[in-house]
Every structure is written in C-alpha cells, then in structure tokens.
Amino acid sequence: MSKTFALAVLALSIAAGSAEAMTTRSHSLSYKHFPTCAAGLVKANCVCRATNGSRKFGLCTSGHYCHTYDGACTQ
C-alpha cells in the first residue's frame, strides 16, 4: 500500500513539474524587450510578428524587410 502511494505521489510530482516547464518561457526567447516592427524596411532592431493569428516571430536587424503576414525577416 505504501509503495503504491509513493509511486502515485512521484508520478503526480513529475507531471506537475513538466507542465510548469511547458508554460514558462525563457525571457531571451520571447523578445519582449524589442519593439514590434511595422511591415516593410526595418531601420532599427525589432521583432517582426505574424498577423495571421499564429505565434511566429523573427528578430529583424536594420536593413531587413519585415513580412508581417508570416513573421519573417528577409534581406
């Protein structure tokens, strides 16, 4: 009985830990410290976010083009 209970507690703690790891995002991957780009030529570093409802984004540097329909940056 105690062995079954210990296994159940262990399984629940592992599941809770993995669920927490999936919900938190690294700050460096979210790019929240950069402004959002407008569509077209980029003049300063910014994040190009897709406007089609997806979560796609890319970091654009100056001189690149931001394509807001898919969140891509091209030269």
Q: Could you tell me which of 54, 55, 38 has the C-alpha nearest to residue 46?
A: 38
Confidence at residue 53, expressed as pLDDT on a 0 to 100 scale: 80
- The two tokens of residue 48 are 């190009």
> In this structure, are residues 64 and 58 in contact, taking their beta carbons and an 8 Å threshold?
no
DSSP state of 15: H
Read off the pTM.
0.55
**pLDDT single digits (tens) 17-69:** 544 445 555 555 566 788 998 999 999 999 998 888 888 888 899 999 999 88
Confidence of residue 74 (pLDDT cuts 50, 70, 90): very high
Task: Quote the tokens at residue 55.
Answer: 């979560």
The rounded distance, in Å, linking the Cα atoms of 11 and 27 is 29
Quick one: pLDDT at residue 25? 52
